[in-house]
Structure 1
């Protein structure tokens, strides 16, 4: 069967005095004016139970489609019984629509045209096309109850039974695009057999009174636009770190943007269930091509760190003209298609090269309220303070101790022996640090939930201490009214503390389980020195390169960075200091010249870059 993404059946005041305060200081639960965020995006991901025969229940979200409509942004994703609205891209509110004929839409597509917001889901058979002029209040209507079939599509029951040149039904993983001349285009497919297709469609916006059944027609025959070439493009190879060439990779998640006179056809590959799920792009001067492979691919790529995966998402502009790219993060605790959503700054160089910045993409980022200057970063500079720090808990289940919450791995986790209020989880930062933000990432361990319910909310407090005996309130979510699977809390003021303590209130699942309690801020002192890049050589298979560097004492980790030029090191592979200081990079394109460098980071900051080495084609 096709391999569609979802059916991959798919921190008053903080402590400011060195001695601490014995009594807690009251403060608001959440600062509504917070202007930072950290991936994964902090929304109330919905529970899914698609693997019913295995009794698996977990929160998930993938394939994000973000669109700006009016004065707000709307986020749609796979397997959600609604969508989210934001006016600042930081705070998101879930909206339950009044008309929702989808059983958790899959890989949805959005379009703003003629003052309307359109929504389409993936399909192998005719499905509705919805539209709204009031999405803020969840009001939707049918533009048409049944989309027309793809012209010339056939279906023999399985891809293996189809003949070369056959067109599969759909559109699966659709993408909608409205060009400046008013013409509308549809792009689609998710398969390791079939390519990405495109066609012009007519939404009858100028004559909608002709009747619902005539409002959508195909204005051109479907056209093959692009296929994967893993023999040429290393990053398109299947498997963890692109190591499985026995399986054909999947191409999916088409999304189109126009910048200037260039059309950017984006796609996801090679598979959503791996750390290397990425976004690539083909370009053209026409909306239906011919399209040309971009040598700087992949554009959205995050194979290392806490958040891994950046494929199958959307690209959009904010109110200030900044460009953003969304993607899909791989979690895979309960099921290999358990996922989250991430958000990264993006843009275009003057020569048209598209870029997505995932460097420190799971550390706190600042949301700008202005047009970013060329080269201006959204990274706050708040460093990870919790990595491999000693953690203790009030209770635990065997095999799931508190040490798991500081390893930067969402697939390992602490489970409390009971989920009763008052359970605690404490991280010792080793010395007094300046704490700026905390992210609490919950895990669904034998969750046993499905759908929505009033008790699916996340409530807890965060406390800080300098001595482990006297505690001050840092954040209070004890009256939270929504679920926070990846709760990110920016402190109202810096807290100078050594200990951070989670005090449990309530979770909607059967068990209290936390994968990582991530603490951000900085330690006094100077950043680490630049690492010494020992070697960077291309393999005989030029899709691969071997990169080695000397360890930097005290480093928390390293960023291996590469790109087409020293000022365009847009690709990053983050490695922590408990991993080897060498990397086989398997994401290169044959025939493309690259440059590579390495930087180190610790609790003080980020080093300068190592020397830059050229990787000849």
Structure 2
């Protein structure tokens, strides 16, 4: 019998929302096979729109993904694929073709396709030409000042409105990012497809990290490790109006502060100027942390999007996932990326967004620190780990058998609208792909813990979903949520987080009182202090160049101190800062806005 208030629903097929990290079938790595380390991962996303579809290329994927709506992604397994898992791939749409380039330290192929939906790829050139003037001594430490490293590693391709093509590249904490004009139109009759690319200009150094001025470029968790020089990598460039926005990632992918920065210029090869509002894409708090090394593109409605790389780091330093954020440009040219509530459900627009129109659904996190119990567990991996919003802690069942259960008590009746099941790779023992690597489970709901109804059913799922996001077809009024296990391809059933979204009854919380906000002696840092709001689940510390441009967000939970030291400021730049509270009912208005003088 169905519990009162709960409505049965199959797995949602007409969903119009998503939550980061993206729900795609991330591939099991094979790089650490010899060390016996197994995990699913995806990083360095290159999104591109070609024809009537979107394509997504990732590091170390044995193929790519296709979507017509940015919500539902289908993996495409290439028939002709000369890469053993491309790293940080670059894409370009030009002359009716989709080009694909992988990172390289030596000549590698450049591919193109006019039918990527059916995995039909050809060689544009079987071997890329060497970077002019590049030297390789075996290691960066053996190179002399002024030497040009080989490449292109972390490449990016750009076609300007005048038809000229450019290549940008490098990933280093020693060398800068480089750029050069290239020619993809060469077609020598006597040399055929092997010589269809050439460098037109000598590679030029375009930007280098400056952590002494840019606080956000400092390395380590919350920028705390000053012993290691920051990396700059993952170039991507867009033109908007008469400006060129050269984006890059810093300071390193293996921490929560991996971010996207931008330099702006009036020419594809510069000179470029560091934007004062950097980092433009930044997400150091919450479940999905990190936002660097991605791509910026427009959808079919003209809306801008920025993608990034989320840090997991449970099994291996470079275990990662993919995120997608709304982005855009103000009338005066300032670029922005919206990561506020960036791992809560967002609504995919079916129209051109208006100025200030948000994609946030308003569905709040209902599962944080809630009581959880399971049918079994391994020592040191209790069910309480699934409600802590930390992808590096997890519940592990005693056996990976169908029928294992994991149950949350939401603490009272709630209106549940979406659930995200985030699996952890603990003793997974899998590498590459196999037919049995699929994810199957059922979600049940109950108002009283005795009578249950099915909310979503993936018992017949045919793909792997390491971060399965399910928007319910109908809101469910429930107190208890139960995960019923069917199958995962790993040896161990392990779930890092069972995240539940919706709303509790009542008005949103009041605005927090901002006690103080002051720049510290090192002006790359500032301390923000506020009064706790009773019943709050957490807070967003927001800052930017103006009160109506608080584009930077650091999310904190209410069981953390009601103070935060920001380490992401740029010297010589004035900021304003404010704080908002959120709970299961909604989001408060902003506190007073304070000024952080340079």
User: What is the TM-score when the length of structure 1 is the normalising length?
Assistant: 0.96
Residue in 1 aligned with 2:141? 160
Residue in 1 aligned with 2:542? 561
Deviation at 1:17, TM superposition (A): 3.7
Residue in 2 aligned with 1:415? 396
> In structure 1, which of residues 337, 345, 348 is the aligned counterpart of residue 326 of structure 2?
345
> Could you say if the C-alpha distance between residues 209 and 387 of structure 1 is closer, same or farther in structure 2, counting changes exceeding 3 Å?
farther
Equivalent pair of 1:364/1:382 in contact (CA under 8 Å): yes
> In structure 2, which of residues 285, 289, 310 is the aligned counterpart of residue 308 of structure 1?
289
Residue deviations 1:72-112, cap 9 Å, x none? 00000001000000000000000001111111110000000
Q: How far apart, CA to CA, are the structure 1 residues paired with 2:124 and 2:421?
A: 41
How many pairs are equivalent? 598
User: What does 1:223-262 correspond to in 2, within 5 Å?
Assistant: 223-262=204-243
Residue in 2 aligned with 1:7? none
Residue in 2 aligned with 1:462? 443
Give 3-state SS (helix, strand or coil) of 1:213's partner. Answer: helix
Give 3-state SS (helix, strand or coil) of 1:180's partner. Answer: coil
Residue deviations 1:233-276, cap 9 Å, x none? 00000000000111100000000100000000000000000000
Give 3-state SS (helix, strand or coil) of 2:290's partner. Answer: coil
Deviation at 1:211, TM superposition (A): 1.3
Give 3-state SS (helix, strand or coil) of 1:165's partner. Answer: coil
Deviation at 1:205, TM superposition (A): 6.3
Q: How far apart, CA to CA, are the structure 1 residues paired with 2:410 and 2:189?
A: 62
Residue in 2 aligned with 1:512? 493
Residue in 2 aligned with 1:82? 63
Deviation at 1:33, TM superposition (A): 1.7
Give 3-state SS (helix, strand or coil) of 2:292's partner. Answer: coil
Residue in 1 aligned with 2:583? 602
Equivalent pair of 2:12/2:456 in contact (CA under 8 Å): no
Residue deviations 1:130-160, cap 9 Å, x none? 0000000111111111000000000111111
Is 2:93 the partner of 1:98?
no
Give 3-state SS (helix, strand or coil) of 1:404's partner. Answer: helix
Is 2:253 the partner of 1:272?
yes
Deviation at 1:578, TM superposition (A): 1.1
Q: How far apart, CA to CA, are the structure 2 residues paired with 1:217 and 1:538?
A: 49
Residue in 1 aligned with 2:469? 488
Residue in 2 aligned with 1:377? 358
Give 3-state SS (helix, strand or coil) of 2:385's partner. Answer: helix
User: What does 1:499-578 correspond to in 2, within 5 Å?
Assistant: 499-578=480-559
Residue deviations 1:515-554, cap 9 Å, x none? 0000000001010000011110001110000111111000
Q: How far apart, CA to CA, are the structure 2 residues paired with 1:521 and 1:209?
A: 64
Q: How far apart, CA to CA, are the structure 1 residues paired with 2:193 and 2:83?
A: 19
> In structure 1, which of residues 587, 597, 602 is the aligned counterpart of residue 568 of structure 2?
587
5+ residue gaps, structure 1, are 1-13
> In structure 2, which of residues 103, 107, 111 is the aligned counterpart of residue 122 of structure 1?
103
Q: How far apart, CA to CA, are the structure 2 residues paired with 1:268 and 1:574?
A: 21
Residue in 2 aligned with 1:297? 278
Equivalent pair of 1:266/1:279 in contact (CA under 8 Å): yes
- C-alpha RMSD of the superposition: 1.3
Equivalent pair of 2:3/2:452 in contact (CA under 8 Å): no
Residue deviations 1:347-401, cap 9 Å, x none? 0000000000000000000000000000000000000000000001000000001
Residue in 1 aligned with 2:123? 142
User: What is the TM-score when the length of structure 2 is the normalising length?
Assistant: 0.99
List 4+ stretches of structure 1 deviating above 4 A: 205-210
Q: How far apart, CA to CA, are the structure 1 residues paired with 2:595 and 2:518?
A: 9
Deviation at 1:49, TM superposition (A): 2.8
Give 3-state SS (helix, strand or coil) of 2:141's partner. Answer: helix
5+ residue gaps, structure 2, are none
Deviation at 1:52, TM superposition (A): 3.2
Give 3-state SS (helix, strand or coil) of 1:403's partner. Answer: helix
Q: How far apart, CA to CA, are the structure 2 residues paired with 1:243 and 1:343?
A: 26
Stretch moving more, 203-212 or 267-276: 203-212
